[in-house]
Structure 1
C-alpha cells in the first residue's frame, strides 16, 4: 500500500484553485482531491484539508479545532489586551469565532433577531431599495449585471438590515467590501491589515449608531432587536452587539456578491423551467439557493480551523497552529453523495444542508442572505422575463475567495 501511495503525484499537481483549469471547471480537481483520502496535506497552503462530509460534520459538531484566527501559526501575534484596538475587542473579547461556550450562549439569546417576523420586516425595508435600483437601470438592451446590480446589493442589504443611517453610508461601504479579508489566511499581511483598519473605522461608526439608537429606540431593524435583547439578557453586552453586526457583514458581503452572480448564471444557463420553480416562494428559493451553490462549485478554499495545541486528529499528528480546512464543496459532484450531480434541480433534497455551515457554527445570517437574494432574483426576472446571457462570462483570477466573473453581460430583449 505504501508503494502505491509513493507513486501518486503530489496533490498540488492535481488541485490548484488559482489555476485557469479550476476557474473553468473545478469539478475534476475537487473530485481528485476528495479521492486522495479523508485528510490531505496541501503544501502550497501549509494546511490539512478534510475532504469528506461525515468528518466535516463531526468537526463542526464537536469543535475539536479552534476557529480563532490568532491561533493560526502564521497569524500576527495576538496583541495583549491593553493594546487591543476595536477590532481585537470585537473579534477576541466578544468573539463568536473563538469561544465555543460564549458562542453558544450568544446564539441562544439572539435567536429572536432571526425569527421569521424579523426577516419579513427586514425584507420590507430592502424591497423598495431593490426596486429603485432596477428603476434606475431602466430597460437597456443589455447590461452588466455585476456592475449594475450585484455590486450594490450587499451594501443595500446590510445598511438596511442593521439600520445604519444614511449619513454613515459612505464610510461603512469600504468595510462591507473588505471585512472578510481581516481573517483570510491566504492573502498578504498588508492587504489583511488594510481590511483590519477599515474594520476599526466601521466599529467606531457602529458605536455611534448604537449610542444614537439608545436615545431613540424606535426603529424596526436588526440593531433595534439586538438592543432589546441587551436590555433583557445580563450576559449580552454592547461588544456582543458589535460582533453580531460584524458577523452579519461577513455573511452578507463576499458571500452575497458571489451568490448574486452565480444565481443569475445558473438560472440562465439551465432549463428555464427551473426559474419559476426557484422563485415560487421564499422557501422554494431557500432550497434553490443551495442547488445554485452546489451546481456552481464557486468555492476555492472552504472553512478554516486551527490546531489549538499539538494533537492527534483523524489519524494525523497536527502541530500547534496548523490550519485545517473543511471543504464540503468537494462532495458537490460526487455521485455517491448526489444522484445525477450534473443535473441542475432547484428542488433537489439537501439533508443536511451545509451551505452555511452546520450545528453550532451554522451561519446566523443565512435566512437574511437568502431572502435578499430572493428579492433581487424576483425583481430581475419580473422586469426582464426574456433575459439571457449575452456571452459566456470570463472568470476573474484575482478574487481571493471564490470563482467569480469579471462581468456578467445580460441581454434583455427590451429594445
Structure 2
C-alpha cells in the first residue's frame, strides 16, 4: 500500500510534549491557527485542523469524513503493533463505524434514553452520590479535587445508572483509560498496548455480563433495560450494538466528566470574583461549564476523522485514507466565531460551541456530563463556602488528554 504524504512544507512545528504545552497549549495552537491552519503532523501521521470553520465543516461532513479508524491509511500497518483487536471488534458495531442508514437507525433507538429530559430524572440519584462522596471530606483542611472528587463521582454515577455491583468501578476506569489512549495508536509503546489490552478484555467481559444479567432481570426506570427493550417498528439493538453502546457510555461518561469536573473547579477557584458570583447565583454554573469547555478544554489533541475521498480544503489536498485531527481546543478559541476568545466570560453566547461534536456524531452523553458537573460544582461550593485554591494544578503524561493529576484546594478558612 502506498501511504500518502503531504505535498506542502510545514511553516510551523508542533509538539504536544513541549514544555508548558499541557499547562497552556493556546499559544502553540494560535500559531497553528494563524500560520498553518491545516498542518501535516508527521509524528501523529495526520493533519491538524485548527480553525473553527474547517472544524465544524469536517465534523458535519459525514459523507467525506468518517470517524471509523478502519478507514485510516495506516490502519493495517499499525494494526498488530498498536491496535487492540477487542476494541477494533467492539467498534465495528459502534455509532462511529456504522454507515448513514444504520447509524440513523441505532441513534433513533438509543436517543430516548439519553434526552435532556430523561437525564434530568437522574438528578436525585446523582445528588445522593455527590453528597455521599463530599461527606467523606468533612473535617479535612486540604484535598486533591482530582482524586478525592473528580475520579470518584463519575464511576459511581455510571455504575449506578447501569446497576453494576459496587466495587467494580476501578475496572471501569482502567477500561476507559485504555479505550481513550487507543485513539492515537501511533503514540503508544508496545508494552503499554499489552497492559491496555488486558484492561479492555476485562472491561468488555464486565459489560457483556451486565447486559446478559439485565436481559434475565429487567428493571423499571433503568437505562440499560430501556436500551435492551426499546423497539421501533419491530427493530431492536443487536447484542453487538448494545455492547458497543454501553462501552461508549462508560468511556464517555467517565473520561469527559472526570476532566471537566477538575477543570471547572480550577477555573472557578482561580477567579475569586466568579466564585462569589456562582455562590450567590448557582444558575450561572450552566454558563460556567460551557465556557470551561470552550476556554480551557481538557483535550490535548483532536477528534479523529478519516477522509473517504480526496478533499480540497484550505489550499491543500487531504488524500483519501488520511487522518484529520479536529483540534477543538483551538477551534473554540477562534476569534472569528468567539470575539475576545481569550477572555473567560460565563455570560458568553456559546450556541456555536462544538465541544461535544457537531452533526450526526454529536455526543449522546452531553446532557449527562453537563448535569453531573453542574451538580458537583454547585454542591461542592455550597458545602464548603470558604474553599480556595491552595496551589496551581499539576499535570501527568497522557497521549490525548491534558491530564490533571492534582488540584489542591483548602476547604476551610485558615
Q: TM-score, normalised by structure 1?
A: 0.87
SS in 2 for 1:406: strand
Q: Distance in 2 between matches of 1:372 and 1:248?
A: 14
Residue of structure 2 equivalent to 1:29: 28
CA RMSD after TM alignment = 2.8
Q: Distance in 2 between matches of 1:57 and 1:109?
A: 26
What is the Cα deviation at residue 280 of structure 1?
4.8
Change over 3 Å in CA distance of 1:176–1:308 after alignment to 2: same
Structure 2 residue aligned with 1:164:
164
- Check the 8 A contact 2:207/2:247 in 1, yes or no: no
For 1:136 and 1:120, the matched residues in 2 are separated by 26
Cα pair distance change 1:394/1:215, threshold 3 Å: closer
Q: Deviations over 1:152-176 (max 9, x none)?
A: 1231122122222336445434213
Which whole-Å CA distance do the structure 2 matches of 1:149 and 1:234 have between them? 40
Which structure features the higher share of helix residues? 1
What is the match of residue 288 of structure 1?
Answer: 288
The CA deviation at 1:147 is 1.7
Q: 2: CA distance between counterparts of 1:401 and 1:78? A: 18
**Closer, same or farther in 2 for the Cα pair 1:133/1:393, shift >3 Å?**
same
Report the alpha carbon displacement of residue 355 of structure 1 after superposing the two structures with TM: 0.7
**Uncovered stretches (5+) of structure 1, i.e. residues with no partner:** 1-5
Shift of 1:390: 0.6
For 1:383, the equivalent position in structure 2 comes to 383
Q: Which secondary structure does the structure 2 equivalent of 1:126 belong to?
A: helix
Q: Is the 8 A contact 1:389 1:411 kept in 2?
A: yes
Cα distance change, pair 139–346 in 1 and its aligned pair in 2 (3 A): farther
CA distance in 2, matches of 1:118, 1:330: 32
> CA offsets, 1:92-151, max 9 Å, x none?
1x1211223222221122111112342123232222122111111213111111121111
1:414, distance to aligned residue in structure 2 (A): 5.5
| Equivalent residue pairs, number | 400
SS in 1 for 2:406: coil
Q: Name the CA shift for 1:269/1:232 in 2 (closer, same or farther; >3 Å).
A: farther
- Any conservation in 2 of the 1:41–1:47 contact (CA below 8 Å)? yes
CA distance in 2, matches of 1:313, 1:408: 44
SS of match in other structure, 1:41: strand
**1:288 Cα deviation after fit:** 2.2
**SS in structure 1 of the partner of residue 122 of structure 2:** helix
User: Which sections of structure 2, spanning at least 5 residues, go unmatched?
Assistant: 1-7
Q: TM-score, normalised by structure 2?
A: 0.87
Pairing of 1:11-410 with structure 2 (within 5 A): 11-12=12-13, 15-63=14-62, 64-76=64-76, 87-92=87-92, 94-101=93-100, 102-166=102-166, 168-169=168-169, 171-185=171-185, 186-230=187-231, 233-273=234-274, 276-277=277-278, 280=281, 284-308=284-308, 311-314=310-313, 315-396=315-396, 398-410=397-409
Cα shift readout 1:326-369 (whole Å, capped 9, x = no counterpart): 11321344433322233322221013221100111111101111
- Superposition deviation, residue 59 in structure 1: 1.6
Q: Distance in 1 between matches of 2:204 and 2:198?
A: 10
- Describe the superposition over 1:156-198 as per-residue Cα deviations: whole angstroms up to 9, x where unpaired: 1221222223364454342133321233333334424533442
Q: Distance in 1 between matches of 2:407 and 2:249?
A: 26
SS at match of 1:180: helix
- Contact between 2:296 and 2:329, CA under 8 Å: does it hold in 1? no
* Kept in 2: contact 1:50–1:327 (CA 8 A): yes
The DSSP-based 3-state class of the residue aligned with 2:21 is: helix
Alpha-carbon distance change, 348 to 262 in structure 1, aligned in 2, over 3 angstroms: same
Q: Confirm or deny: 8 A CA contact 1:163 1:222 kept in the other structure.
A: no
Does structure 1 conserve the Cα–Cα contact (< 8 Å) formed by 2:299 and 2:401? yes
- Compared with structure 1, are the counterparts of its residues 276 and 244 closer, same or farther at alpha carbon in structure 2 (3 Å cutoff)? farther
Per mean C-alpha deviation after superposition, the further-off stretch among 47-56 and 328-337 is: 328-337
Matched position secondary structure for 1:353:
coil
Q: For the residues of structure 2 that align with 1:238 and 1:78, how far apart are their CA atoms? A: 28
Distance in 1 between residues matched to 2:338 and 2:180, nearest whole Å: 30
SS of alignment partner, residue 23 of structure 1: coil
Q: Residues 247 and 73 (structure 1 numbering): CA distance in 2 closer, same or farther, change over 3 Å?
A: same
Q: Which moved more, 1:211-220 or 1:181-190?
A: 181-190
Shift of 1:395: 3.1
Deviation track 1:36-72 (CA, whole Å, cap 9, x = no partner) reads 2442222232211222222222222222122112332
Report if the CA contact (8 A) 2:69-2:75 is conserved: yes
- Cα drift, residue 292 of structure 1: 0.9
